[in-house]
Amino acid sequence: MALRIDRIPTWKDNYTYLLHCEETNEAAVVDAPEADPVLRRVESSGAKVVSILSTHHHPDHSMANPDLAQRFGAPVYGHVSDRERLPGFTNGLEEGDTVRVGRHVARVLHIPAHTRGHIAYVFDDALAVFSGDTLFAAGCGRLFEGTPEMMFAAMRKLDALPDAMRVFCGHEYTESNLVFAVHVEPDNLAAQWKLDRVREIRAKAAADWHDATDSEMSVPSTLADERATNPFLRAADAAELGRRRALKDNFRG
Ligand code: ZN
Ligand code: FE
């Protein structure tokens, strides 16, 4: 049976995910900056939350951890190195560890660069990767605690995933990311085509992100899409990735 994945719009443009094993009714919450929208979704689904999974320690991904942990009596997972700074931290993970949500198992990838303790959760059977602020649809996170070399290495780990793997990232940034993608690769027709599609989707967006419905969400993407459109996943080497990242830091599309 399927792993159901609910996309919950939180904060300004964040994605919080509710992962629900329909066979066992066990569930996990990925990256929650605020509790209320999550509690409402959990209540309406009838899921039993057994773990809180964090991709990294930034507040827009983790502020609600202590609140949710208390309400559900659930442990909070994050990279071992974030023990002191991830809100609610209880259980440390390292590269190659696994976490279970009902019948579904995620592998942990350590992908430092945006932050030193950034991890991704890969559900091979459900074809879903939770990539936080490292791999966005058509973009990558800022290099707050890492180098272009580290982000390039992170991209190679993610690039090993199959075409059909769905990419559930931390923010709805796809449209502006694609504007940049088309700017740096003007001949990339896949990026241009996807930008047109995402603009159609986003044109119908609710005024308040909290009211967003599935139809206006450009996430998930897929690894196949990212290999075709993402200028950071597509960068030939760390130097090119670094140049593109520096350019985007100051880019106003
Ligand atoms: Zn972040
Ligand atoms: Fe973020």
- pLDDT one-digit tens code per residue, 59-96: 999 999 999 999 999 999 999 999 999 999 999 999 99
Bridge partner residues of 96 (DSSP): none
Distance between CA 177 and CA 183 in Å, rounded?
10
Annotated catalytic residue 210: no
Domain that holds residue 241: 3-249
Which of 56, 79, 104, 110 is flagged as catalytic?
Answer: 56
- pLDDT the model gives residue 95: 98
The DSSP bridge pattern shows strands 104-110 and 128-132 to be unpaired
Report how far ligand 1's centroid is from the alpha carbon of 166 (Å).
20
Of 6, 60, 82, 225, which residue is the catalytic one? 60
pTM reported for the whole predicted model: 0.98
How much distance in Å is there from the Cα of 1 to the middle of ligand 2?
31
Helices 238-249/148-159 angle, 10° precision: 110
Domain CATH for 188: 3.60.15.10
**Domains in the chain, number:** 1
**DSSP string for 192-230:** HHHHHHHHHHHHT--SSGGG--GGG----EEHHHHHHH-
Report d(CA 227, CA 232) in Å as an integer.
9
Q: Label residue 252 by pLDDT band (50, 70, 90).
A: confident
pLDDT tens-digit map of 120-161: 999 999 999 999 999 999 999 999 999 999 999 999 999 999
